[in-house]
Amino acid sequence: MVKILEREFIMVKPDGVQRGLIGEVIKRIEKVGLKIIAMKMFKVSMVQAEKHYEIHKDKPFYNGLVEYITCDPVVAMVVEGKNVVKITRKLVGSTNPLEAEPGSIRGDYALEIGRNIIHAGDSPENAKTEYSIYFTEDEMSSYKKIDADWLYE
């Protein structure tokens, strides 16, 4: 049976990098069985940030958001798996850490919306739009995980 895999965009934001949480984020992604197919650390350019947060352009927090995401390095990833967006949203937790479930990344490590450790796409379409800002198809390494038969029915 062919398994339909989705792709998700995940970014450890500057506060997550500064606080040394990159490994914890990767560990949680891998422990649940998702597959990282691209990853890199870099400083987000102004052009990338403006494109990424274009949907918030007219909101009062837009300038602060762009300034923040470009201030220090991030770690961006493309993750692949069945229902990956829904699974990742659960792993990440609510945007507002005060509403995030204990056990989620934001529920365990964040205190405020503006410093909530991690970003993840909220739909397969948005994930594709976002990861396309930071990665080319050539930078993604799709492969079959040896445990795939034990992860998916």
Count of alpha carbons within 13 Å of 52, Cβ hemisphere only?
Answer: 28
Confirm if 106 and 118 have CB atoms less than 8 A apart: yes
Nearest Cα residue to 72 out of 113, 107, 115, 132: 115
CA distance 1 to 23: 33
- Catalytic residue positions? 119
Confirm if 108 and 102 have CB atoms less than 8 A apart: yes
H helix or E strand, kind and range, residue 108: helix 105-109
